[in-house]
Amino acid sequence: MFRANVKFTVLLALLLIFSPARRVFAYDGAEAFGVVVWDENDWLRLADAAIVGDGYFDGAETFGEEISVHIGGAAVYDLLTGFPAGASGIREGMTVRLGLSGPPSRDMAADEVWMNYGEEGAAAFLAVVSENIQYGEGYCTFTTYDGKYRVTLTADTRITDPEYNFYAPEDIRPGQALFVWVDMVTASSPAQAYPDKAVIQL
């Protein structure tokens, strides 16, 4: 009986750790940033590259001026629209943000690619809705899973999905992920954000 309880506890812990709703990126939040200088056969070469890890590195780390990342099978999103996009839309000179699928190295792989990162008119961040959500008349307020943001959506927020369906703030539920557009956030912890646009990821 004791062994069975231990096995169940370990299994439950693993399910919580690897729950996709709790992660924006796959490998401890490790991300790569850079400018595309070469794109061929599911590989990207990035210049001015940096790797930042949430729980992996204490700060930014680089692997020289350029790094290579394999993006075969990665989900690609365009931050100008918030919609899924094909890898064919990646162009030289474009700034991208990558979610790494394994330990950072000189030849690494990515699970997610965000195109047009940091461009004017691009989404500010991906908000994954936690269980900490409150609803009111014409609005909802939630904390993101990473605890960094407290997001308020109102009746004035344009909320859609990639299929151009429209949503009300009351339709938002824990576990959903939304790209949000916001001009500024407060310096508080968590930062308060009031997006004027959000796109739900289906």
What local confidence, expressed as pLDDT, does residue 31 receive?
A: 85
**pLDDT tens-digit profile of 34-86?**
999 988 889 999 988 888 775 444 444 555 568 889 999 999 999 999 999 98
Distance (Å, whole) CA 126 – CA 138: 22
What local confidence, expressed as pLDDT, does residue 32 receive?
A: 87
Nearest to 172 by CA among 162, 160, 183, 156: 160
What local confidence, expressed as pLDDT, does residue 102 receive?
A: 77
CATH assignment, 125-200:
2.40.50.140
**Per-residue confidence band for 29, with pLDDT thresholds at 50, 70 and 90:** low
What local confidence, expressed as pLDDT, does residue 63 receive?
A: 52
Q: What is the CA radius of gyration of the chain?
A: 18
Distance (Å, whole) CA 10 – CA 16: 10
Q: Which of 16-20, 37-41, 120-124 has the highest mean pLDDT?
A: 120-124
Distance (Å, whole) CA 51 – CA 122: 21
Does residue 5 register a pLDDT over 60? no
**pLDDT tens-digit profile of 126-152?**
999 999 999 999 999 999 998 999 999
Tokens of 81: 């629209």
- Architecture per CATH, domain 1-122, reads as Beta Barrel (2.40)
Does residue 116 register a pLDDT over 90? yes
Exposed e or buried b per residue across 142-151, where buried means at least 16 C-beta atoms within 10 angstroms of its C-beta: bbbbbeebbb
Establish whether domains 1-122 and 125-200 are of one fold.
yes
Does residue 27 register a pLDDT over 50? no
Helix (H, G, I), strand (E, B) or coil at 112: strand
Distance (Å, whole) CA 151 – CA 141: 6
Helix (H, G, I), strand (E, B) or coil at 3: helix
The structure's pTM equals 0.76
**Per-residue confidence band for 10, with pLDDT thresholds at 50, 70 and 90:** very low
Over range 89-117, report the average pLDDT.
88
Domain ranges of the chain: 1-122, 125-200
100, 110 Cβ separation under 8 angstroms: yes
**pLDDT tens-digit profile of 163-199?**
999 999 999 999 999 999 998 899 999 999 999 999 9
